[in-house]
Structure 1
Amino acid sequence: MKRKILIVDDEIGIRLLLEDLLGSEGFQVHTAQNGKEALEMVNKHKIDLMIIDYKLPIMDGIEVVKQLEKENKDINTIIMSGLAESFKDLTYELTSVKKVLSKPFDVLEVRDYVKQLLAD
């Protein structure tokens, strides 16, 4: 069965880039433009990994993760941000956050990290 990845970013270019990259690795990729959509997707699909931008309209990436953890939905999460350093402290108590990626990121590094996280 294909592992499912949810990509959440308000920039379509990043969603498409990651969707192509991870789709070509054989993952089933879902995308969302904001935190609210992300939560809806998680309720609809069994997501194995979420790659979410920190800065999102409506509800930021950290809020989404906190909400999911509150509902006991433990989804491995990678948070992306142009300001990675400034919010690292906010992620300490979030057990599902496995990595904070600074934008711009190295796509091959992301690919390898995702494969490592989802290796059975």
Structure 2
Amino acid sequence: MRDCPSRQALDRIGDRWTILIVGSLGEGVKRHKDLLQEVDGISQKMLAQTLRGLERDGLVKRTVRPVVPPHVEYELTDLGRTLSAPIAALERWAVEHMAQVQQAQQQYDAAQE
């Protein structure tokens, strides 16, 4: 069902940028520029958009430090930290099974030729 709250949550946490950002923030507080460097391939626009969505969902806390220029930091909330274990499990699965996935892809591609 499109309007099901669980679907909305899965859409958020199933997004590749969300997974990578939450994984990075699982290591601790990060600045925007640090996340931009650590999350390979993400644009500034997509990083900002994803962080806003995560903040809106209560998964990430944004803190502005009163210095010149302003210093903005991001960290996982208690709710956001509950995603760390499932994301780590997905990462372990990917590492353990990637060779099998690649083999299946090669077999599929060869059969299509």
Query: When the two structures are superposed, what TM-score results if normalisation uses the length of structure 2?
Result: 0.25
Higher relative strand content: 1
Structure with bigger helix share is 2
Q: Which has the larger radius of gyration?
A: 2
